[in-house]
């Protein structure tokens, strides 16, 4: 039990809009072990960012609402959903840090880099300005910024995108948090810089032992950094398991679709990428059955009527699909791009 840094149970988040209540996250459950890197994947609007922001309690309420039946147990004892704002402030930044998608906009343009790193240190660790500044320089060096003594007094516009993301990582890790949430940390960067940032994150995870939640829609990034994967669709977890489980033995048709829509470099055959047809359902009025049924080539009658239960494949691998029911017809997993199954 205490092996988990984070236990998310039945997390439900809604946004109250003029059009109605948008059920962005509809009962998400997953655990994160200490020192583990977990990836949350899914297409835009599936609720992965909302999930991560709910964990940080960064969702503006109103219009957002984290349902009171949800629980997010941090470090085995603190339920984030029930914390007061003040208690949450003390947790944020010190115990958990966050990196955002776009490094060009996520730093304050009128504040020196050093000060932006130091702020959290002064607040959470009670450091003096001077001590915090020294620690900021140390952090800049740690994230691989050359000449940190000179850079510490510069402004964000004097840094490139990749360098800014390094600064963001420095801010997030300044207080040695136990949990780092990275919301698409490489999406806005070009490919060579992406690789550097991922290397840096892996490196820092080893050094600090922090657990990571990585939000992404890039399966390449998942394979690179994560040990476990949560696949989300329309505000629900459809499948979760280890990287090997998800990549080599996926069970949910949506995961199959995701795998088939990504190009592979490990074979020379002519490749055709197969998109998942259709669009995700409207979350103002989510379907009563499986949310993926409308786009699923294997959908049965029951899929439209009732939501499937979670089926355990092995100890860490589970999926929610009627095809896994003992009475369901056996469906052959479609051949992936590249023409062969691994595993």
Partner 1 sequence: MLRFILRRLIYGIITLWVLITLTFILMHNLPGDPFANSQKLSPEAKATLMKTYGLDQPIWVQYGSYLKKIATFDFGVSFNYPTRSVNDVLKQTFPTSAELGMYAIIIAVIIGLTLGIVAALNHNKGWDYVAMLTAIIGVSAPAFVIGPLLSYFIGVKLGWLPPALWKSPEYKILPTITLAFGTLATMARMMRTSMLDVVSQDYVKTAKSKGLSRFAVVVKHTIRNAMLPIITILGVALVNITTGAFVVEQIFAVPGMGKFFVQSISTNDYTMIMGMTIFYAALLIVAIMVTDVMYGVVDPRIRLAKGGK
Site of interaction with partner 1 (CB under 8 A):
56, 58, 85, 88-94, 97-98, 100, 102, 105-111, 116, 119-120, 123-124, 155, 157-158, 168, 171-172
User: Quick one: 56 or 201, whose CB is closer to partner 1?
Assistant: 56
Min CB(73)–partner 1 separation in Å: 19
User: Quick one: 8 or 296, whose CB is closer to partner 1?
Assistant: 8
Provide CB contacts within 8 A for 105, sequence distance 6+: none
Min CB(90)–partner 1 separation in Å: 6
Min CB(171)–partner 1 separation in Å: 7
User: Quick one: 43 or 89, whose CB is closer to partner 1?
Assistant: 89
Among residues 240, 179, 187, which one has the least CA distance to residue 216?
A: 187
Among residues 224, 229, 228, 216, which one has the least CA distance to residue 200?
A: 224
User: Quick one: 128 or 158, whose CB is closer to partner 1?
Assistant: 158
User: Quick one: 88 or 328, whose CB is closer to partner 1?
Assistant: 88
Min CB(103)–partner 1 separation in Å: 9
- State how far the Cα of 175 lies from the Cα of 65, in Å rounded to an integer: 29
User: Quick one: 167 or 321, whose CB is closer to partner 1?
Assistant: 167
Min CB(151)–partner 1 separation in Å: 14
Alpha helices in the chain (DSSP H): 48-55, 85-91, 113-125, 129-142, 148-151, 161-173, 191-208, 219-225, 243-248, 253-260, 301-305
288-295: Cβ within 8 A, 24+ apart: 290/320, 290/321, 290/322, 291/233, 291/234, 291/235, 291/236, 292/233, 292/234, 292/238, 292/252, 292/253, 292/254, 295/257
């Amino acid at each position: 039990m205490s092996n988990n840094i984070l236990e998310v149970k039945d997390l439900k988040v809604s946004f109250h809009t003029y059009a109605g209540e948008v059920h962005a996250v509809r009962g998400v459950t997953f655990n994160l072990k200490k020192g583990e890197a977990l990836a949350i994947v899914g297409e835009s609007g599936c609720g992965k960012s909302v999930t991560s922001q709910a964990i940080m309690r960064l969702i503006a309420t109103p219009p957002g609402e984290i349902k009171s039946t949800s629980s997010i147990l941090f470090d085995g004892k603190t339920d984030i959903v029930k914390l007061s704002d003040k208690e949450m402030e003390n947790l944020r930044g010190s115990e958990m840090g966050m990196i955002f998608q776009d490094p060009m906009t996520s730093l304050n343009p009128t504040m020196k880099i050093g000060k932006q790193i130091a702020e959290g240190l002064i607040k959470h660790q009670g450091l003096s300005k001077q001590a915090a500044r020294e620690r900021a320089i140390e952090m800049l060096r740690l994230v691989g910024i050359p000449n940190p003594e000179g850079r510490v007094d510069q402004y964000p516009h004097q840094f490139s995108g990749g360098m800014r993301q390094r600064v963001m990582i420095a801010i997030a890790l300044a207080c040695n948090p136990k949990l780092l949430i990275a919301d698409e940390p490489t999406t806005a960067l070009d490919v060579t810089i992406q690789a550097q940032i991922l290397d840096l994150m892996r490196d820092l995870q080893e050094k600090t032992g922090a657990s990571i939640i990585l939000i992404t829609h890039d399966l390449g990034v998942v394979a690179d950094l994560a040990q476990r994967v949560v696949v989300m669709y329309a505000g629900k977890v459809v499948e979760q398991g280890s990287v090997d489980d998800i990549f080599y033995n996926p069970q949910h048709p949506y995961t199959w679709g995701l795998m088939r829509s990504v190009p592979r470099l490990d074979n020379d055959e002519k490749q055709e990428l197969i998109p998942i047809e259709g669009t995700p359902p409207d979350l103002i009025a989510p379907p009563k059955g499986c949310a993926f049924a409308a786009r699923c080539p294997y959908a049965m009658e029951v899929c439209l009527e009732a939501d499937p239960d979670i089926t355990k494949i092995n100890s860490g691998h589970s999926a929610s699909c009627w095809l896994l029911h003992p009475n369901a017809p056996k469906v052959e997993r479609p051949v992936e791009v590249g023409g062969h199954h691994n595993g």
